[in-house]
Amino acid sequence: MGVPESELTPNVQRALLSLMGEVDQLRKETERLRGRVRELESLADHDVLLPVLNRRAFLREVSKALALAERHEAPSSLVYMDLNGFKEINDTHGHAAGDAALHHVAGLLAAHVRETDAVGRLGGDEFGLVLTLTGHEGAQAKAQELVDIIETTPFVHKGHALSVGAAWGCHPLQAGHKAEEAMAQADAAMYARKQAQKSQADRRQA
């Protein structure tokens, strides 16, 4: 520690050893606190019910994708998704079944996108995805693929095999856009598709 050997008296040695022990203890405590901060940051970013991002953290991912498009002219895509049949599950089988449906869908979405993509719960039974460096046509194809997976993969709740569907809307994340504007556009595209699906279903029943 830079102390001349001639000055290393027993008292100095004891003091140095005590100081080194305290420094080591402080280092361990600092690392523990850093780990706790990382844990709290993760909790703050995730939905209270599901293992996906909450709306605030998801909007941050949208902003990151927009910044990437601005700096490198590399657009990504935003998918806005709303579940079909969720209310019926809640009304018929209870809120625990509704929570199970949300967990089921969140797990399917997370399992079928890349690590570079982001999945978030936007509220209620609405989900969002940021498909990084994915063009509009590719995002539409991926969104439909995910919906097909959701609709053909039932989950079991208290002995009942249940399933939900989904409507989706896409919006490109290009330079010059803002996060909330992109969310509103993707939501509008999703709503239009949902209304078209409802109209088709009504015509089939007529």
**The pLDDT of residue 20 is above 60:** yes
How far apart CA 197 and CA 194 sit, in angstroms, is: 5
Between 144 and 13, where is the model more confident?
144
SS3 113: coil
The pLDDT value recorded for residue 198 is 81
Average pLDDT over residues 148-156: 96
Confidence of residue 40 (pLDDT cuts 50, 70, 90): low
Of 10-24, 32-46, 116-130, 188-202, the least confident: 32-46
Supply the pTM of this predicted model: 0.78
Q: pLDDT value at position 185?
A: 96
**In which element (H, E) is residue 170 found?**
strand 165-173
Residue 94, pLDDT score: 95
Q: How far apart are CA 128 and CA 168, in angstroms?
A: 9
Rounded to an integer, the average pLDDT of 59-70 is 95
Mean residue pLDDT across the chain:
89
Beta strands in 27-150 (DSSP E): 76-84, 118-123, 126-131
pLDDT band at 68 (very low <50, low <70, confident <90, very high): very high
Task: Report residue 179: phi and psi, to 5°.
Answer: -60, -50
Of 47, 82, 117, 125, the catalytic one is 125
Residues contacting 153, CB < 8 A, separation 6+: 104, 108, 163
Show the tokens assigned to 73.
Answer: 């002219």
Q: Tell me the average pLDDT across 75-96.
A: 95
Measured between alpha carbons, how far is 148 from 152 in angstroms, rounded to an integer?
6
Is residue 125 annotated as part of the catalytic site, yes or no?
yes
Distance between CA atoms of residues 99 and 84, nearest Å: 14
pLDDT given at position 95: 94
The pLDDT, as a whole number, for residue 38 is 62
At residue 86, the pLDDT reads 95
**Cα gap 36→30, rounded to integer Å:** 10
